[in-house]
Amino acid sequence: MKPKKEVTIYDIAQNLALSSATVSRALQDNPLINKKTRTRVQQAARKLGYRHNTFASSLRKQKTNTIGIIVHELNSNFITSVLYGIEKVTSEAGYDLIIAHSSESFKKEEANTLNLFHKRVDGLIASLAFDTNGLDHFKPFQERGIPVVFFDRVEEGSEGTNVIIDNYKCGYQATKHLIDQGCRRIVLVTANLKRNVYAQRHKGYKDALFDNDIPFNEDYVLIKDLSEEGGVQAAQQVLNMNPLPDGAFITNDFSAAVFMQVLKDHGIRVPEDIAVVGFNNDAIGKIIEPQLTTIDYPGADMGEIAARNLINHLKGIANIKHTNTVVIRSDLIVRKSSLRNGIQNK
């Protein structure tokens, strides 16, 4: 079937015996046009199937009212909550979102960045892939004065706004909690240490050991992709260790849940044999048995703060270049998976 011709304001004008200027103003709900005429025009537009030409309007205004989002994955409760926070703020401000994900690939991230630049987004919010090295691919935005806000995975020391948690403190806190529970052989299951979030958690882990006179053992640091398979692999490595570790800090709740299940399948008790702490405070932590001690990572708050910084810049309220790092509060939530002594708090 041949597609129908696109309806224009001239078609509406002819249908209603009005001028095209009147129709245009009525479609914009301009108060200069009386309410009765505005209603007639808008009803006719709906009946005829008129679509506003956003692209042409954007070219005239040099503004698209869209914000680009680049995330490293979509299959994540944390990222979902961040996107919820971003959408809450941007929709209230009248902006649409274009979401792209890098699948943990710098090359794909680079291509997505260029694509969003060519789509003329008004601003960009991004979290970097595992293997991203440098921010040169964001330079076209900088050169055009298009604001970019980074969240979670950022390039430390870069110009602009970074919205993060204190990953060092979280790494230290999680490890110190395991030490306070009597653990001395503590495994760290984490991801690529080139990325700021994992590097800082690793540093916190090492410093907590040092401050408590526990030697650092490189063999206890297991670098994984924090997927289901990564959790299985980490558990299998731990089961082959002699002596068996008595604590595990896993920087992702889903991987921690898989890790715990594999241990239990092999007769290892949690927390009696190995105490476990996760990261993110995902819903799965309350479902598994025992419930998972974790670091609360407030994704919705992070998304709202990142979006609000960007919107404020677009409105001229703030200048992103003069804003550095926003650190969001995060807390240890103690549950049964790590509790050998003391009282759980949630």
3-state SS record for the chain: CCCCCCCCHHHHHHHHCCCHHHHHHHHCCCCCCCHHHHHHHHHHHHHHCCCCCHHHHHHHHCCCCEEEEEECCCCCHHHHHHHHHHHHHHHHCCCEEEEEECCCCHHHHHHHHHHHHHCCCCEEEECCCCCCCCCHHHHHHHHCCCCEEEECCCCCCCCCEEEEECHHHHHHHHHHHHHHCCCCCEEEEECCCCCHHHHHHHHHHHHHHHHCCCCCCHHHEEECCCCHHHHHHHHHHHHCCCCCCCEEEECCHHHHHHHHHHHHHCCCCCCCCCEEECCECCCHHHHCCCCCEEEECCHHHHHHHHHHHHHHHHCCCCCHHHCCEEEECCEEECCHHHCCCCCCCC
CA dihedral angle for residue 61, residue 63, residue 66, residue 69, rounded to 10 degrees: 170
Rounded to two decimals, the pTM is 0.79
Give 124-157 pLDDT, tens digit per residue: 999 999 888 889 999 988 888 889 999 999 987 7
Q: What is the pLDDT of residue 156?
A: 79
Measured CA to CA, the distance from residue 165 to residue 171 in angstroms comes to: 11
Q: What is the pLDDT of residue 10?
A: 85
Q: What is the pLDDT of residue 90?
A: 94
Q: What is the pLDDT of residue 319?
A: 64
Residues forming beta bridges with residue 231, ordered by sequence position = none
Q: What is the pLDDT of residue 346?
A: 46
Q: What is the pLDDT of residue 320?
A: 59
Query: Which stretches in the chain have pLDDT values below 50?
Result: 1, 59, 343, 345-346
Neighbouring residues of 57: CB distance < 8 A, sequence distance ≥ 6: none
Pairing of β 186-190 and β 221-223: parallel
- Domains of the chain in start order, with CATH, are 9-52 (1.10.260.40), 64-163+298-329 (3.40.50.2300), 167-297+332-338 (3.40.50.2300)
